[in-house]
Amino acid sequence: MVHSSIVNITRWACLLLFPLALAQENVDGYNNLGRGSCIDNRGQFYSYVQRTLTFPDASTCASAECAKFGNAQSYRGFEFSVTKRCTCLFDAEKMPPVKNDASNPDYVSKNYQGVNKVVGTSGTPGATCYRIARDAGVIASTRLFYAATAITSALVYLFN
């Protein structure tokens, strides 16, 4: 009786969580690492350059804003926030110069201590971390992984 209830709850949980796995936006040339700010292997945040305007989605952030920094060896990826802000990430003290009018700035920036590849996220809500694909050991779609895992789990529980 208890086993049957647990199986039914698990089946419904898999079916309800499946849309969440598909909701993560995939961006060409980047690996979606999930919710939170991008961090390096020491848990440090990256220096950033952020436009003061908003972007409609993460793909536009990558292609219209951060793409211009893509060839810089210090460029590590970007974060796209729930407020639709686009934040391009760089190694500590290696942000490229951007033209800015002091009386009406187009960009804000801040230095942090993150260096080298993005290895994870802080897990805090508010932004999604995207690592540039050249820094990934194996290039794979996070969205595809979660979708395949959810489908497989749902099928296992539905047919048991």
Question: How confident is the model over 63-95, as pLDDT tens digits?
Answer: 999 999 988 999 999 999 999 999 999 999 999
Whole-model pTM?
Answer: 0.70
- State the residue for tokens 């974060």: 79
Number of CB atoms found within 10 A of residue 93's CB: 11
pLDDT > 90? residue 58: yes
Greater pLDDT, 64 or 145: 64
Strand residue runs (E) in the chain = 30-35, 38-39, 47-51, 75-81, 86-90, 107-110, 120-121, 127-132
